Structure formats: structure tokens, C-alpha cells
Amino acid sequence: MNDMDLRDILLRVEKPSRYIGNELNIIKKDIDENTIRFAFAFPDIYDVGMSHLGGHLLYNLMNEIEDVYCERVYSPWVDMEEVLREKKMEIYALESKDPISKFDFIGFTLQYEMSYTNILNILDLANIPLRSNQRREEDPFIIAGGPCAYNPEPLANIIDFFIMGEGEEVNIEIIELYKKMRDSSRDEFLREVAKIEGIYVPKFYNTVYNEDGTIKDFSPISDEFPSTIKKRIVEDFDKSYFPDKFLVPYIKTVHDRIMIEIFRGCTRGCRFCQAGTIYRPVRNRSIERISELARKLIDSTGYEEISLSSLSTSDYPEIESLVSAMMDEFEEEKISISLPSLRLDKFPIEMIEEIQKVRKTGLTFAPEAGSQRLRDVINKGIEEEDLINSVRKAFSRGWSSVKLYFMIGLPTETDEDVLGIKELGYKVRKEFFDRPKEEIKGNLNINLSSSCFVPKPFTPFQWFGQDSIEEFDRKIKLLKDNIRDRKIKYNSHDGKLSFLEAVIARGDRKIGEIIIRAFEKGCKFDGWSDYFDYDKWMEAFDELDIDPHFYANRTRDFDEIMPWDFVDVGVSKEFLKREWERAVEGRLSNDCRQGCINCGVNKEFSGDYC
Ligand code: SF4
């Protein structure tokens, strides 16, 4: 792509800096015959992709490997796509502006099932065949990793090979193998890469179905290939690779800040949460290492905020010491510290007040379920009192804006549980106004938000059939009809989108053809409500005679073979079954920091608590 062409294009699209690269800390390399070209592909727009921590990590890690040139590509927004197609130009990488079809590898991160049509759109704009079995010797290898890869089957006919688990070490092994096999055929390389632990090459596996559509057998086509794919983790997380510089975009992105992962994994065992099982065991990063990284990242980016990220930040063993170390280091420079995903039962209001001295923002809590009974079913491990105590403390310290996140459609849910969401909102309201007038500061603003529950693989709820769209709509209406207070706003997510997310998340190989057909009908940016076209998806199911309800709404037997059963995440199926049984009895399971409850991960992996 020459500068003139680019200039003409950029004059015709919004936010042109999505397509120019040249950000602070960009990596540019000379290309020669030894260069291995890797495109990190994020299947959504630049503004979203640039906030993805994994992208910053992989980009810098791959570019530290000799002879590897890792560049980036994001989904072009609809205006840019139109210009590219009109000018018959291929999608290009931001660093070199070279078409990604010329690369050796294109690596997609799978963060959300409803981004899969964007994967196809990027391949189509690169003139790369959508189906893996139609790829030519000269085509790049199409790789995928990330949380949604734990059920790879819906993309098995599209992706050449998957990475199960954490990429820090296995990506290096793939490159080392490729260096040795550059003159080999595509098939020869795929046969060898399939032998690296954590790599899954779908073409070497076969699925046989029963009459009723359930899986009868799933196995490798020969003993050459492993029958189970064991996820990869980095054992020494404290010393594991983390970049000391981030790309700094010219435009505002979703998260405009430094993100430092302070620990990986979670021990809480919320039964709806996939991340809570797939990232086990828990491994902490030391305060010394976090401080060292924070200093380098602030100096190399100029950012004014550091987010100490993890799945449950208040569970970091020395959270107070870590925050005061950060405040000591950065308060004078007016660098603010943010603590995402704080738990209600461990809500350090004093610390929040401390770190929000620099910048005060609203408070967000995630009770997840409206009643205590249902919170116990999902093993959330928080009491209503925890919420009331936290908002009472917050209101007494001047906060007046509160967001509460819930899910509807959880297993065993009743209308009473649903209305419990409204009740909690009203109780928070009461806490604000039930004080002496002179203490009431600010204008109360309560936001209740409910998403539609999607049962995910590798959770105790993986067998549970999702609520129908009609049932979601009925429950949303029930809440809307009953929340009658100007101080309390309620918004809900679209049941149809969550239905399709469940179909894909729990789907088998047949779903791959549905995704391709939906794409061919024009589906893309399905995660964006302006672009999501439910009817086109339903047409695809009709035309291919596949029943989506079979995947989303059907409760499955314990002995049914699940499309993802061949993936070994360490946590055993027996443990998940046990937790399902405890859920329907409304029995809690403790946080395993207080004592191991034998999820099984310690049989194959070691963490800080097992
Ligand atoms: S093996 Fe035990 S301590 Fe380790 S994550 Fe599982 S339940 Fe927790």
C-alpha cells in the first residue's frame, strides 16, 4: 500500500488513525528472506482491540523472537471495508502496510463468540479461503487462541490449528518448529505442530454423531496425534514475560490506560464463570515485579492510569501493600490506580477512597443474582448484607452513583429471584435516603443491568439448557413493569444475541457451516446492536437444516460427549458434576484458598495454593 493510496482512502473514512499505525512504541523491522511474518488479528475494530492486554503482550513477545516480525490487523469498520472492496485492495497490517495474505501466520484471539463472522470478514478481505481444507500451500497458517478456543469445534473447519491455554511459551515453540520446517509442505508442518503440547489441529480428528445429533465418538485419525489436548500454562507467572512498553494509540480507545495482570486464575468457584476454571491454578505476581513493570510502563507510555487487573483483584494476597506501594510511587505524578472486579464481600472502601483521591468515579458491584437463594446456587459467596454495608459506607463517603450487574436465566431461577433484582435496587435507594438530610450529598443514580445467562463449557452449568428467548423477554418485562423509581434505571441485554452466543459456545463442527453461511448473508459486527441481524442467522439455520435450540436450550445428560470434552483444562468433569449437584441443592462451596476442594487442577499443574 503506497502513501498516496492510503491518503486517498483515509480521507473517506471516520477515525483514519485506526488504519495508519505509527503509534508510540510501534515496532518496525526490515524484512528479508529469513523474516517470519506473523499478523496478530483482533476480530473487532481498533478502538476495542487496542485495549486487549493479550494483544500488547503477544505483540511485544513475538517481536522479541529473532527473525519474527509481528504486526497487527483489526476489523475495518464498515466505511473502510467499503473503500477496500471498491478499490479491490486487500486488508493490510498496520506496521508495514503489506497485505496479510503474504504472511506466514495470522493469529486470531477468540474473546467473544459473536466476533466469529469478523474473523471470516478479515480472511475474505485478505483473499484467503474461509475453509481450512481449501487453503493453498502459499496461504498463511490461520491460528486461534484465547478463552473461546476452549470449545474450538464451531471453528474447526476454519482455523488450521488452535492454541489451548496461555501463549507465552507455546508461541515460541511454534516459531522454533516453523524455522526448521520452512521448506516443508503445509500438511507436514501441521502434522509436526500437532505434537506440541497444547496445540490442536482439527483436520487430524474425526467426529461421529448419533441419530439424535449428539456425539457418538470423537477421536484422532491415527495414534500419531494425542486423544486429549492439555492446556498450556506458564508455571512461574511472576517471572513470566510481560512487556515494559505498550503501544499508545492516537485515538481514544475503550481502555486508555496501563493494564498490569497482578495474578492469573481465581479460587472463588462461581459456577457460571468459565474464566474461574480455565485459568486455574492461581499464580500471583510479586509486588516488586508489579512495581518494576508499572514504572517502566508509565515511563514508556505517558499514560496517567494503571489498572491492576485480575479476575478478582481484592483477592490479591497483599492488596493493601500493593496499592500503597503504587500510591507512594505515583501519587505525586497524579497517576491514578484503578482496581477492576472488586468483590462485595471484600470491598476495601478506605482503599477506594485513597486511590480515588486523584479521580473519583462511580462504583460498580456485581451481585449477579437478585436473591440470596440464587446467589448460593451460583456460589457467588456474598451476602445481601455485604452489598448493603458497601453502599452504606460508600454513600457516607460521598458516592452517589452505583452500578449493579446481574444475570437473568440462571439455573433454578424463579420470578421471585428475578424480582429480587428490583428489591436490591430499592434497598440501595433506601440506604441513600435513610440518613439525616445534612449527610445526603449528590444526586442518587442507581443503574441496574441484567445480561442473559449463557451456560459455558468447563463450568458446572455446562449441562444446563439456556432459557428461551421468550422466557428472557418475559423476565425482562417483569422487571421493567416493577421498577418504578426515577432514581433507578434498568437496562437489559438482548436475549437473541445471548441465544446465538450459547449456540456457538456449546456448538459442534456443524456450527462452522452456519457461521460461514451467516457471513455470506452479510453478518458481521454481530456484537454491535446496530449490525446484529438475527433473521439472517435464522435463515442460515433453516437453509442448512440445523436446529439452534438443540445447542442452546437443551439440558444435556452427564454422560453425553460434549464437543469440548477432549480438551484437558486440569479441572475434572467429576468436579464440575459435583458442583452442579451442590448448585441445585443450593449448597455453597468454599473459596479453595481456605482449603482445597479437589477441582483436579493440582494433578497436572501447580499454583500458589495447590
Ligand atoms: S486443586 Fe484445590 S486448591 Fe487448587 S485450584 Fe483446585 S480446588 Fe483450588
The dihedral of CA 392, 397, 401, 406: what is its sign?
negative
* Residue to mutate (ligand 1; options 263, 596, 603; most atoms within 8 A of CB): 596
* Residue to mutate (ligand 1; options 602, 603, 604, 605; most atoms within 8 A of CB): 602
CA of 279 to the centre of ligand 1 (A): 12
Which H or E element spans position 54?
A: helix 53-63
Tens digits of residue pLDDT in 313-324? 989 999 999 999
105: helix, strand or coil: strand
CA of 124 to the centre of ligand 1 (A): 43
108: CB partners within 8 A, 6+ apart: 41, 42, 43, 119, 122, 142, 143, 144, 145, 146, 159
Query: CA angle at residue 383 from 471 to 439, to 5 degrees?
Result: 105
- CA gap 313, 329 in Å, rounded: 20
- Any idea which residue has 456484537 for its cell? 527
Q: What is the DSSP annotation of 401-441? A: EEEEEEEES-TT--HHHHHHHHHHHHHHHHHHHSS-GGG--
Tens digits of residue pLDDT in 512-525? 999 999 999 999 99
CB 338 within 8 A of CB 292: no
Q: Does residue 281 have a cis peptide bond before it, meaning omega lies within 30 degrees of 0?
A: yes
Kindly indicate the confidence band of residue 341, based on its pLDDT and cuts at 50, 70 and 90. confident
CA of 266 to the centre of ligand 1 (A): 10
CA of 275 to the centre of ligand 1 (A): 14
pLDDT confidence of residue 340? 83
Residue 560 in grid coordinates: 453425553
CB 488 within 8 A of CB 425: yes
Beta-carbon count within 10 A of 123 CB: 25
Kindly indicate the confidence band of residue 609, based on its pLDDT and cuts at 50, 70 and 90. confident
- CA gap 535, 542 in Å, rounded: 10
Tens digits of residue pLDDT in 552-607? 999 999 999 999 999 999 999 999 999 999 999 999 999 999 999 999 999 999 88
For residue 166, is pLDDT > 90? yes
Query: pTM of this prediction?
Result: 0.96
For residue 195, is pLDDT > 90? yes
What is the distance of C-alpha 66 from the center of its chain?
29
- Any idea which residue has 511459551 for its cell? 169
Cβ 609 under 6 angstroms from ligand 1: yes
Nearest Cα residue to atom 1 of ligand 1: 602
Please give the average per-residue pLDDT across 48-65, as a whole number: 97
Tens digits of residue pLDDT in 223-265? 999 999 999 999 899 999 999 999 999 999 988 899 999 999 9
Return the percentage of the chain with pLDDT > 70, whole number. 97
533 HSE (CA, 13 A, CB side): 17
